[in-house]
Amino acid sequence: MATKIISIRVSKKDTKIQKIKAREILDSRGNPTVEVDVYTKSHMAREQVPSGASTGIHEALELRDGGKRYNGQGVLKAVKHVNTKIFRKIKGMDLRKPAMIDKTMVDLDGTDNKSKLGANAILGVSLACHRLSAYVQGKKLYSLLGGKNIMPTPHFNIINGGKHAANKISIQEFMIAPRAKSFSEQLRMGSEIYHDLKKSIINKYGSINANVGDEGGFAPNLNKTKDALDLIMKSIEDLGHGKKVNIAMDVAASEFYNSKTKKYTMEGKKIKSEKLLNYYDDLVKNYPIISVEDPFDQDDYANFSEFTKLMKKRKVQVVGDDLLVTNINRVKMAMEKKMCNALLLKVNQVGTVSEAIAAAKFAMRKNWKVMVSHRSGETTSNFISDLAVGLGCGQIKSGAPCRGERMSKYNRLLQIEEGLGKRAKY
């Protein structure tokens, strides 16, 4: 169980860190990751760290062991840092001040990308401390993370491509964003479309093409982007959802960009940025696409700006992921150059909950949109569900309505919605 609270007795004075225990576990792809338990005298909270497949070069460093063990992916070094250096530094600190704990760890590391201790080591402690902080204060986690109580619209990744699947589709994620009066209705619509899509794929391409990718979306052996979009539109229309469902795409263009030739490989063809921009614009004109993430390489600033200018006319949000890596300094840089208008928030890209919240709040103050996101290598932790509600950003993506590590986030949102009752905002 990823998200865990154990209470032995209740004491309002019991707010100081007494013990930390980290261990190496496996994520949803079967690769090692870090799990951290943080204790006061009477309470304990447990959290787990996710990991990405298509990672930006500007992300905080995920410390791996190297060597032959687990194909070099072991995290025993990060675990040791938690159990020794980090614990010694933050022992006795007050959990009611989680931002101070985060800053102490960042200062202890002392590098720009957390390469000394590892972002995975620091984040595991940060997540668990924030969760335990809410508990010892008698608060809901989402209230500690902002408390706006706005339920997010889910973006379900129902067809996988790129690095998340073994097919020929260049674009990494094709998502649906149902519109309804409640989150529970949005989840129902997403599930219905997902299952109808499975039937369509089997009928047209055979059952082997109904296998799923890393994030639970189907990974049929398609060659063209439009084939994927047409499959999705058919299921939306067959179920009578029509104009109630929009489409979002995570292109992850850095994964098919050649920095030497300055060209992108889309559907097996090497094309220049200008042609790729026109390609996206054609898709937006012909499908109900409301969001495009990482349409160009993370360092292709000029084309990000040109695309954002065009999409403003189309009323489509342009989301920065590899471009921004949840780093407030890169968000500021992107704002100055007008390279996008929405932040994809991934806590493990920056390494602490406090830094992720700071980047999100800054973006929203500047009238940007924010979408809280999972990673492809996930755990059953549901922390980001509370984060999305607390920030009040209105958007979350956590993969398909399938697989336990994805459903843990969506099911947590159902619990939050039920708990808020009439106080829930949409």
Please give the positions annotated as active site. 215, 346
Strand order from edge to edge, sheet including 269-271:
257-258, 263-266, 269-271
Distances (CA, A) of 20 to 16, 17, 86: 11, 8, 9
Give the whole-angstrom CA distance, residue 100 versus residue 94. 9
Candidates 408, 415, 416; CA nearest to 378 is: 408
How many degrees, rounded to 5, is the angle at CA 44 between CA 42 and CA 48? 175
- DSSP per position, 29-89: TS-EEEEEEEE-SSEEEEEE--B-SS--TTSPP-----SSGGGGT--HHHHHHIIIIIHHH
- φ/ψ bin of 338: left (φ > 0), alpha (ψ from -120 to 50), beta (otherwise): left
Q: Which residues contact 365 (CB under 8 A, 6 or more apart)?
A: none
Give the bridge partners for 343, in sequence order: 320, 370
